[in-house]
Amino acid sequence: MAKTFRVVFALVAVLVLVFAFSPAMPLREKPATPTVFAPDAAGRLVVDLVDDPSEADLEAIEKVLGADLNWVSPLSQDEGLAEGAVVDLDDAIALLAGNPAVEAVEPEMTMEAYGYPNDPEYAKQWHLKAMGAPDGWAQTPRGKGVIVAVIDTGVTQVDDLDQTKVLEGTSFVTGVKSAKDDNGHGTHVAGTIAQSTNNGKGVAGVAPDATILPVKVLSKQGFGTAAWIAAGIDFAVDEGAQVINLSLGGSYSSVIHVAIKKARAKGVIVVAAAGNSSREGVGYPGGLTETIGVSAVGPDGSLAPYSSWGKGVDIAAPGGNKQVAGGGVWQDTIDGKGGHAIMEFQGTSMATPHVAGAAAVLLSTGMKPDAVERVLLESADGGAWDPKYGYGKLNLASALGSSVDHGSALRFGLGALLAFLITQGVGIGGGFRGVAIAAAGWAAGGLFFLNWLPLPDHAALDLIARPLLAWPGGWASFPLWCSAVLPGAVVLSLGAFQRTRGAALGLTVGFGTHLLHAAATGALDPWWLGSYAKPWLVANGVICLVLALALSGAEKLERRQA
């Protein structure tokens, strides 16, 4: 018994170490403060009654208002949340002021968790909306932990890149030591990829939590040699870049091709512009099979008049068309006068970073580089390959939809595997093992596959499709919730009875698996913990697995005594 216990514990410890110390472990930042908009339905009121109200309590409030109210959801009835239409909002709020049965009352409002940013010039950025950037902000770590190399004229950390992590980088331009931008092109490109977003100033970027690596290979006039560019690609790979943005091009270069082949062999995604020739014939390196070649579309979604097209185009993205008022791509960049300004540029150079930013967002969800490239092309708005648009127009929202269950499926499998190993290690099989494995898989990943089925919208289905840790929604980041407190309560309650002990073991394993996975991927950042967030998740995940091992031991002992 002691030997098998040690074997199982060693297996669990190995998994913990793999999770905890993997080199690619982005820690997700706390979601930005929700943006509150004006009431979207005049006359609708939300009333928060004192907890655990009865139907009679709700009827009493209805009599005061002279209006019908309904519980917001059966799941929120215990919290006393009700809503309904009233004739006059101000009068209704005044009638309930000071009512001891009411905790809060307010007009119905619409909120966006962190989708639409508070950047004042975001309204100009039609291009971010067109490619689905808001879905990236709302559903993922937004590029956190992903290094994107901008191989260009350099990058200057202008005012609206203040919250973006910009590395020191380097320059390969003869006579220029700094990677700072002296042209404006590279900074504009970097802004599209990772402009600081929801910071109350300027504009927004596709992957605001990504890290920018500036690599200066183009001069102040915007020109550079193939040798400089090849050296820049090699440098970016050595510095750990996961995505390389090449908003540049010209004739075929074998040295650049070799550098790109080496980058791809190491799993780096290389995105390159198709060119601005206004005719068929894609420039290089955009035309290489190893790169994602990007053509440009304007605000109307059609090919921009300057964009190159033809063999080598893999995808189209917003590049702007300044023939249309406000139709360029807007970002903060240097202004040539020693300062900065939000400026509109156009070109396949501007289309390329939209794709690079989208790749960073997908990588930050845990997808592998090859899968990212495949999903970007398969989810693009288009059909068969087209010489103008490749496989279609970039659609990050659709790409995320294609990968939304990636993490849930992985957690489901890991939770079930750990439950199997623990029960196997102490020799418990049969129905107990089956219940434990099923409960662990569900608690870790939820019944994620329900989202694939043509089922009606229902609160109960939505709940069981989610993992246990995600049940509180926005409160899932509360430190005591993302800890071993709930599993401990499960062990003390359900674990005390033989009939429910298998379920208790599984729920505890699944919850712990999710905590460890969150530490590894950055999918969860407990509030207020800062740099202690990851150790917190790992420690509590380990505690959960130890509790599960204790339950398995108790079950084994009870069976022997019986």
What's the pLDDT tens digit per position in 346-384? 999 999 999 999 999 998 877 788 888 988 998 899 878
Please calculate the CA angle 271-369-239 and round it to the nearest 5 degrees: 70
- Residue 480: count of CB within 10 angstroms of its CB: 10
DSSP string, 114-165: SSS---TTGGG-HHHHHTTHHHHHHHS-TTTT-EEEEEES-----GGGTTSE
Per the annotation, the verdict on 185 as an active-site residue is yes
Contacts of 180 (CB under 8 A, 6+ apart): 154, 155, 156, 214, 216
Please say which residue of 386, 403, 420 terminates a domain.
Answer: 403
CA distance between the termini of the chain: 17
Please check whether residue 390 lies inside any domain of the structure: yes
CATH for 129: 3.40.50.200
Per the annotation, the verdict on 458 as an active-site residue is no
pLDDT 10s digits, 130-156:
998 887 776 557 888 899 999 999 999
Please say which residue of 87, 109, 131 terminates a domain.
Answer: 109
Q: pLDDT at position 520, please?
A: 85
**SS3 string of 237-293?**
HHCCCCEEEECCCECCCHHHHHHHHHHHHCCCEEEEECCCCCCECCCECCCCCCCEE
Q: Which residue has the tokens 């709700």?
A: 58
User: Mean pLDDT score of the chain, rounded to an integer?
Assistant: 85
Burial (0-12, 13-18, 19+ Cβ within 10 Å), 338: exposed
| Residue range 443-453: mean pLDDT, rounded | 77
CA distance 253 to 233: 13
What are φ and ψ of residue 26, in 5° steps?
A: -70, 135
Q: pLDDT at position 454, please?
A: 63
Query: Same domain, yes or no, for 131 and 189?
Result: yes
Confidence band for 496, pLDDT divided at 50, 70 and 90: very high
Please check whether residue 146 lies inside any domain of the structure: yes
Please check whether residue 115 lies inside any domain of the structure: no
| Residue range 396-411: mean pLDDT, rounded | 74
Please check whether residue 386 lies inside any domain of the structure: yes
pLDDT at residue 180 greater than cutoff 90: yes
Confidence band for 26, pLDDT divided at 50, 70 and 90: very low
Please check whether residue 453 lies inside any domain of the structure: yes
User: What CA–CA distances, in Å, run from 344 to 127, 217, 332, 358?
Assistant: 11, 23, 9, 20
Please calculate the CA angle 240-129-182 and round it to the nearest 5 degrees: 50
pLDDT at residue 42 greater than cutoff 80: no
pLDDT 10s digits, 300-357:
999 999 999 999 999 999 999 999 999 999 999 998 888 999 999 999 999 999 999 9
DSSP string, 205-247: -SSTTSEEEEEE-S-TTS---HHHHHHHHHHHHHTT-SEEEE-
Nearest to 480 by CA among 547, 418, 549, 528: 528
Query: Same domain, yes or no, for 453 and 532?
Result: yes
Query: Same domain, yes or no, for 259 and 387?
Result: yes
- Residue 110: count of CB within 10 angstroms of its CB: 11
Q: pLDDT at position 378, please?
A: 87
Query: Same domain, yes or no, for 394 and 299?
Result: yes
Please check whether residue 117 lies inside any domain of the structure: no
Query: Same domain, yes or no, for 92 and 226?
Result: no
CA distance 506 to 144: 31
CATH for 95: 3.30.70.1510
Instruction: Supply 3's token pair.
Output: 């030997």
How many residues are given for the chain?
Answer: 562
Please check whether residue 114 lies inside any domain of the structure: no
Per the annotation, the verdict on 349 as an active-site residue is yes
Burial (0-12, 13-18, 19+ Cβ within 10 Å), 25: middle
| Residue range 520-525: mean pLDDT, rounded | 72
Instruction: Supply 485's token pair.
Output: 């407190």
Q: pLDDT at position 197, please?
A: 87
Nearest to 237 by CA among 264, 212, 211, 255: 264
Please calculate the CA angle 254-219-360 and round it to the nearest 5 degrees: 70
pLDDT at residue 35 greater than cutoff 70: no
Query: Same domain, yes or no, for 305 and 383?
Result: yes
Confidence band for 107, pLDDT divided at 50, 70 and 90: confident
| Residue range 518-529: mean pLDDT, rounded | 77
pLDDT at residue 257 greater than cutoff 60: yes
Instruction: Supply 539's token pair.
Output: 């420690």
What pTM, to 2 d.p., does this model score? 0.60
Burial (0-12, 13-18, 19+ Cβ within 10 Å), 371: middle
Q: Which of 14 and 201 is assigned the larger pLDDT?
A: 201
Q: Which residue has the tokens 């063999």?
A: 311
CA distance 49 to 115: 29
Q: pLDDT at position 366, please?
A: 72
Is 343 strand, coil or helix?
A: strand
Residue ranges making up the domain that contains 281: 123-403
pLDDT 10s digits, 54-89:
999 999 999 999 899 998 878 778 888 888 888 888
Catalytic residue among 152, 182, 209, 332: 152
423's enclosing H/E stretch is helix 406-425
CA dihedral sign of residues 72, 76, 77, 82: negative
CA distance 32 to 517: 22
Query: Same domain, yes or no, for 373 and 509?
Result: no
Query: Same domain, yes or no, for 162 and 295?
Result: yes
Q: Beta partners for 273?
A: 294
Query: Same domain, yes or no, for 243 and 294?
Result: yes
Q: pLDDT at position 265, please?
A: 93
Q: pLDDT at position 185, please?
A: 96
Confidence band for 32, pLDDT divided at 50, 70 and 90: very low
Query: Same domain, yes or no, for 274 and 387?
Result: yes
pLDDT 10s digits, 205-254:
999 999 999 999 999 999 999 999 999 999 999 999 999 999 999 999 99
How many domains in the chain? 3
Q: Which of 45 and 33 is assigned the larger pLDDT?
A: 45
Q: Beta partners for 316?
A: 295, 393
Nearest to 34 by CA among 474, 462, 480: 474
- Provide the residue type at 540 as one letter: N
Query: Same domain, yes or no, for 96 and 144?
Result: no
Catalytic residue among 171, 196, 349, 364: 349
CA distance 316 to 192: 15
CA distance 157 to 167: 10
Please check whether residue 176 lies inside any domain of the structure: yes
Nearest to 147 by CA among 162, 172, 128, 166: 166
Query: Same domain, yes or no, for 133 and 270?
Result: yes
Catalytic residue among 185, 340, 354, 406: 185
Please say which residue of 75, 109, 143 terminates a domain.
Answer: 109
DSSP letter (8 states) at residue 103: E
